[in-house]
Structures are given as C-alpha cells and as structure tokens.
Chain A
C-alpha cells in the first residue's frame, strides 16, 4: 500500500504531473514530507497541497472494520475462530483454543528443554486432515540449527495418532506436507522469506515455524544494540506476513545470561537501583531471552520453557488473551505432555524469568555409581 504510485491515484492531472516532474513517485515519498516542504518543493499553494495529501492519504489508508465483523469473519472462515489446537488441554484453554492465527508466537527457553519437540508436534498437527482436528495444509519449517529430525517426527506421529499413521501411505503423505528449509546465513533467510511470501497462498501453507531466530544473528554480530536492529526488517516482514495470510507463525528463541548492560529500571525508580548495583552475582545466574526488548515487543504470545527443581514448566509469559499460567510438562515419546491441565498462576514479573538447571544431577549420578 505504501508503494502505490501517485499517478494512479486519481489526483487532478495537473498536480499529478507536478509530483512526477519532481520525482515523487510513490505515496511513501509524498507522505514522508511535511506539507510545508511539499509546498516549497512543488511550488504549489498550501490549499492545493493539503487537498492532494488528503486525497493520497485516503487512498493509502487501510480499510477499517468493526471488531464485531472481524470476529464474525474469523468464526465463520477459520478453524476454531483462528486457533491451532496443540492438544495440550491446559495450554489450549489458556490460549482460547490454541496457537492463534495471524500473530507471532515465541517459544523461549534454555537448550534441550523441548522447544524443537514442541515445534515438531505442531508441524504434525497442522498437517493432519481436518477430520482429525488438523489444518489440512502444508507446513514450512525453517531449520537454522539443523535440529529437524524426520524420524523423531514420525515417531511422535505414530505414538500420538496411531490410527492415522498406521494406515498405509499416510506417514508419507503427512511427511510430504512438511517443507524443511536450511538457510545458512541471514541473507539466505531473507531470500527464503520473500519466496515464502509469494508462494504462501498458492501452496496452502498453514503454519510457518522458524527454529531458531536467535541462531541467525548470533554468528554475525557482536553483543549489544546492533543485534536488535539486525532483525528489524525481518521482524516487521514476518509480522505482516502473519497478518495478511492469517496463519500461525511460531518462532523459537534462545537464552543468554543477563549482561551488565541490560536495563531493568526506569529513571524514576533510581532509589532501588543502588541496592542492586553491587549484586554482580545475579548477572551470571540470570537468564534472559535473546534478541532484546524490541523483539519482545514484537511477539504477541511468549511461551517460556524452563526447568526448576527438576521439573520442566511451560509458562504463558506474554499473552493478551491469557492469564499468567505455568504448567508442568514432560517430553515423552509422543512429544510434549502436560502433567497437570489446571496450571498454576504466577504473579508478578516472575512469569518472565527463565530458570535453568545445571548438569549437577547427571554428573553426580555418574560419580556415585562409580564409587
């Protein structure tokens, strides 16, 4: 919309010619100048400039919808009013049906906690036929760290939906619906994204999984501010992709230790700050999500996976439609399964913290058996 050409907007001929003569071709260029600047640049009176800008704005402006018609549209046209059920009862209830369409859902957690397992199961669920509660469509899985395992996915399929997978040829068909890409650099990723945008509707893609986003940047830049902005374009591209195509997009993210540069207080909260200033030990033990605060704002739903006191939890850390709940889970042969559907509520900013256990229990265990 922003790149619409001015000559095709139905402006009066004389002013359209002036715009073209001054090399202002797209709406974006016209709207990036204030009215006074345009007046000087085009040598036209203020009233004419104002009406031209108003005309351009009206055409470029997105159409409106009432929230009611939006809801009715979704209920009518989309699966479960726009949600992909994860088959984890507690989580689905918390998310009003499942992973929502049209927005970014992020999975963040330490290594080995189960993010890829969750993504594998979701890919399977999206490819299932509608009669079994799936989206009956293709899945694009962007696998940056080469973690995708077809064998594991078929295993999850066999264990979770034996009635489908034991049928002849079904495993092949389901497997055939999942396209795996292996971009090795940020530029390859950018190219793939652009190709995906074009082919999304044609090929009936119903889910996009990016595993993992952080890995794309970690090899290329140093720590600190530049890392956040490197993905700036991609973030808005993926978001607009999600909105236009109304498919769920699931992205995984890594964790890193909290650095000294991480801000956590506002200037008016300064009096507390002196207390925490000296506590350097927390910097190494606290984990935060990678990719920074700009990314954290861009995702709509953030699911934090962590392990605490030997038990793994999946927490709904950021979601406009859910209360802050945590569910204990296990990874079994059929993928992730919740140990309790009720979940318990966490108050305060704890819902965002990520705990990680070391390998103490494994190392000590081995040590003990040798004694």
Chain B
C-alpha cells in the first residue's frame, strides 16, 4: 500500500487507512481542512500529511516506485521544469540569442564590465522586462533591485519605452487585446519594482538572509538584481579570508533562493586589474574564489565603437559574443546597419 510508505506516525497511518485513503492519488486533490475532518486529526497534522504525500507522489511518478534520495530530482524533471519557465528577455535580440532566449530563472547570472558600459542599464531593463505580462511572452513578475544609488528617472524612461513597444506589437498582431493593454501604465511597472538601499556589506548579508522571508510574502518576485555586489566588499577588508567566506556564503544563499523560488538572480560586478601572463589584464572583481560562485558569467566590453557581451562561463551556453546598444529606450539591438538616429 502506498500510504504505508509515507514517513508519518503509525497512528496517523492507521487513521488514513481506516478512512479509506490507501493510495497517494486519493490524497492528491484534498484540502487540509477536508482531510482533517474525514480522518479526525488536527488541521496542522492534515497539512503535514498532505505535504509528505505530494512529495512522495512526485518521486513515485518519475521512477515507478523505488525509493529515491530525499530532495533529489531526476534530470528529466528538471528539463521539464526549465521549459515551463520562460526566460527574461533583455530587449536585444542578439543578446537574447547567445543567452539561449534570455536570462534564465533558477540560476545566478553574473554580469560585469568597465564603468559606463551599461551594467546598470541592463539591470534596470531586466527589472522592467520581468514585468511584461504573460500574454506578451513575459513572466508578469515583480523585481527586487538592491543598489546604493538608484536613478528612478531612468527606470521610468525604460518602463515607458517598454510599454510603447508592447502597444506597438499589440497594434500589429492582436487588436482584440488592446483593451487590456491600455491598462498598463509606467507607474504600474515602477510599483512592482522593490528597491532596497544597502550601505555596507553587513546590510547586504542581512538582506540576503531576509530575502527568503520577503519573497515568501511577495510570491510574484521573479528577479533579484544586485547592483553592484562588489562595491561594499571592496573596501576596508583587512581579512581577505573572511571576505571570501562571506562572499561564498552569500552566493550559496542566493543560489538557494533562485532554486527554491524559481527566480533569476542577477549580480552586477565591477572590474579590476590582474597580473597574468606577463601583463595586466582586466578581470572581474572579487577574486578567483568568487568566480566559481555564479552559474553564468557575462562580460560586457567595448569592441571598437560597439558594446559587446561575451558569455564567459556557462554550463549550458556556448561562449559567444553579441553586440548590443544602450539607447534612450534602454537596451536594444545594436544599430550597426541602420542609419544613426539622434537620441534626445
């Protein structure tokens, strides 16, 4: 009997069987209050039983009955889940292509570059794009932006441009949806952007710890952007070993957040000089240990007169570069082939 394998107390098992619940599927569509009444247990116990049962049925469904390790997931299930979540577009087709469609949820992506290359612009663009409604291919989620000095004016500009783009495609494709589209106002986008101002690394760590609670209360959050993760860790750290420990602890917590709540975590990083192969080269800050912490790593750089993004490290994407540009509307495709338009 399937119920016999659940890790619940013997008395609870006995009650379930005598009430007629012998298979996991019979428990699958019940609410805790109904179960509590039927089986004569308290609500909390009923909720606990249902939780255990749903966990058990998930494992069963994939492998047909043999006991697997608690918390493990088969690769097939993971693939299925990945396909369920659309990626967050960057509004630049070339960039989306090398990223495999956009920034992936459930992963930590690090984006670094020299000052002025567009890291903050990309961060704000992602914070706005995550809010694109599901009808338009987005996630319809909210964003958390963690930064020292947030320029609201730019977020407003990008939000307005995003809505404009949506209404344009609206007008071209689906005229019947026009009614619901008009309801979206740049202020709605700004309303769904939660901003935390962090002033020291202690606050950054405290915030990372607190995010779990915050996100369980605001379940719509689909992206967390930290701009920049480097700044507070770069000064007055006499003990480098401590810094490495704190950073890796923080990275693990962020990865857990990404996995548990199925959201994307984007960390913006700065650059520094490193002496390798006989000369100084640019590299992302925070050291070599940190470079292992993120799942994906994208480097933004200048190539001649164009801005390029390069996938430096990723388990599933191949190394490639793509051009992009920063316009008054935000991140867009690079304008190398079209006539240059004056932006003001």
Chain A residues with a Cβ under 8 A of chain B: 1-2, 27-28, 31-32, 34, 53-54, 56-68, 70-71, 74, 81, 93-94, 96, 100, 102-103, 225, 229, 232-233, 235-236, 239-240, 242-243, 261-270, 273, 293-294, 296-300, 302, 317-318, 320-321, 323, 325, 342-343, 345, 347-352
- A residues near B209, Cβ cutoff 8 Å: 31, 53-54, 57-58, 61
- B residues near A261, Cβ cutoff 8 Å: 273, 280
Q: List 14 A-B contacts (CB under 8 A).
A: A2-B202, A28-B202, A32-B202, A34-B245, A58-B210, A64-B196, A65-B194, A68-B191, A263-B282, A270-B277, A294-B270, A297-B231, A302-B116, A345-B342
- A residues near B121, Cβ cutoff 8 Å: 320
Indicate whether B61 reaches chain A with its CB closer than 8 angstroms. no
Query: Shortest distance in angstroms between B330's beta carbon and chain A's nearest beta carbon?
Result: 11
Indicate whether B199 reaches chain A with its CB closer than 8 angstroms. yes
Complex contact A62–B207 (CB within 8 A): yes
Give CA–CA (A298, B227) in the complex, Å.
Answer: 11
Query: Shortest distance in angstroms between A29's beta carbon and chain B's nearest beta carbon?
Result: 9
Chain B residues with a Cβ under 8 A of chain A: 114-116, 120-121, 124, 144-145, 148-157, 187, 190-203, 205-210, 212-214, 228, 230-232, 234-236, 242, 245-246, 249, 270-274, 276-277, 279-283, 299, 301-302, 304-306, 310, 312, 319, 327-328, 340, 342-344
Known: A296-B115, A348-B304. A321 touches B206 (CB 8 A): no
Within the complex, which residue of A2, A263, A298 is in contact with B231, where a contact is CB–CB below 8 Å?
A298
Query: Shortest distance in angstroms between B94's beta carbon and chain A's nearest beta carbon?
Result: 17
Complex contact B153–A233 (CB within 8 A): no
Known: A263-B282, A317-B116. A240 touches B270 (CB 8 A): no
Q: Which 3 A-B pairs have the closest CB atoms?
A: A348-B305, A232-B235, A57-B209
Complex contact A320–B301 (CB within 8 A): no
Complex contact B235–A233 (CB within 8 A): yes
Query: Shortest distance in angstroms between A48's beta carbon and chain B's nearest beta carbon?
Result: 15
Would you call the interface of chain B mostly helix, strand, loop, or mixed? mixed
Give CA–CA (A230, B152) in the complex, Å.
Answer: 32
* Chain A residue nearest in CB terms to B188: A68
* Chain B residue nearest in CB terms to A262: B280
Complex contact A32–B199 (CB within 8 A): no
- A residues near B270, Cβ cutoff 8 Å: 293-294, 297
A57-B206, A68-B191, A347-B305 are known contacts; what are 5 more A-B pairs with Cβ within 8 Å? A28-B200, A67-B195, A103-B151, A268-B319, A293-B271
Give CA–CA (A345, B148) in the complex, Å.
Answer: 28
Query: Shortest distance in angstroms between B2's beta carbon and chain A's nearest beta carbon?
Result: 31
- B residues near A352, Cβ cutoff 8 Å: 116
Known: A61-B206, A64-B196, A240-B199. A232 touches B153 (CB 8 A): no
Complex contact A348–B306 (CB within 8 A): yes
- B residues near A27, Cβ cutoff 8 Å: 202, 206
Give CA–CA (A34, B206) in the complex, Å.
Answer: 12
Within the complex, which residue of A32, A94, A100, A294 is in contact with B246, where a contact is CB–CB below 8 Å?
A32
Within the complex, which residue of A66, A236, A321 is in contact with B192, where a contact is CB–CB below 8 Å?
A66
Known: A236-B231, A345-B342. A31 touches B206 (CB 8 A): yes
Within the complex, which residue of A58, A263, A317, A350 is in contact with B213, where a contact is CB–CB below 8 Å?
A58
- A residues near B312, Cβ cutoff 8 Å: 268
